[in-house]
Structure 1
Amino acid sequence: MSREKNIFVSHFHTHAEWINKLKDLLEKHGLTMKDSSIYEKKNPNSAKNEDYIKSFIRPRIKWAGTVVVLIGENTHKSDYVQWEIEYAAREGKRIVGVYLPGEDNSTLPEALIQYGDALRHWNGDSIIDAITGDDTWDGPNRHWDGPRSTC
């Protein structure tokens, strides 16, 4: 029996193709991902105004129960990823980092280190466990073992 979860995927812009791969992976393991993420193929636009872009993102994060952060080589450099994680934390959302395949040594965004609930490798069952409440941190840089702080 498949379960459904409302998920916003925060990602570095060049990693957008991994959103559908994540959906497929989760579906194979029994979780249907209802996706509120924003990426060019799904939501084509040429917006450049930061306030406008954030106004478009806010309700999508609010709708989601979980924010999944795709971690790759350049994710930590994205101001939007940082902001999305911080906003999700202020909204009390579950925040799960997921390493892209072969990217397990990538630098984590500072906001994920501070506010993340779980960090997982690219494994369907493990990611679903994190989405549904397991706080295991599969990686470096976790400075504490207690509940995460909020903004």
Structure 2
Amino acid sequence: MKRIFISFAKEDSNLRDLLVGQARNNNSPFEFVDMSVKQAWDSAWKTNCRRKIKGCDGVIALITKNTKNADGELWEIKCAKEEGIPCLGIWGNDNHYGVSIPNELSSSQMRDWTWSNISSWLNRI
């Protein structure tokens, strides 16, 4: 089973919950261990977060209109890139018109949120 860090804006925590729930669904074609940060850490959160990301097989970044102002999420994506951890950007909703891809994900895949997109990415890492 793959260890996956889910990066998301705190305003989008419900989307993280949905993604984790999908992976637990009996007929889901994918599964993973959620390693995301679920609560704010103290001033050493970047050190703790980097350690957690380094222990993962990949990072799924949930991208919405909130991402551009989500300093923590943007840092997590950048950290994954620095550590050589594969990243997949998933659009957090169907209507992503006007939502820009963060610079931190410029060299990563961006995909719609579908079971086949997620499972094919997980199978490649």
Smaller-chain TM-score bracket: 0.7 to 0.9
Unaligned runs of 5+ in 1: 135-151
SS in 2 for 1:39: coil
Structure 1 runs of 4+ aligned residues shifted over 3 Å read none
The one-character-per-residue Cα deviations of 1:11-67 (angstroms, maximum 9, x if unpaired) are 111111212211222344232220110123xxxx563x2xx1101201110111100
Percent identity of paired positions between Structure 1 and Structure 2: 24
Aligned length: 122
Aligned to 2:7: 10
TM-score (norm 1): 0.72
Which of 52, 64, 73 pairs up with 2:65?
73
SS of structure 1 residue aligned to 2:88:
strand
- Cα distance change, pair 18–57 in 1 and its aligned pair in 2 (3 A): same
User: Match of 2:56?
Assistant: 64
Q: Which secondary structure state, in structure 1, belongs to the residue aligned with residue 33 of structure 2? A: strand
For structure 2, the 5+ residue unaligned runs are none
- RMSD of equivalent CA atoms: 1.9
Question: Given the two structures, how large is their TM-score scaled by the length of structure 2?
Answer: 0.85
CA distance, structure 2, for counterparts of residue 46 and residue 8 of structure 1: 16
Q: Which residue of 2 aligns with 1:109?
A: 102
1:89-137 deviation line (CA, Å, top 9, x unaligned): 1211110000112342222211011x41x21111111121123339xxx
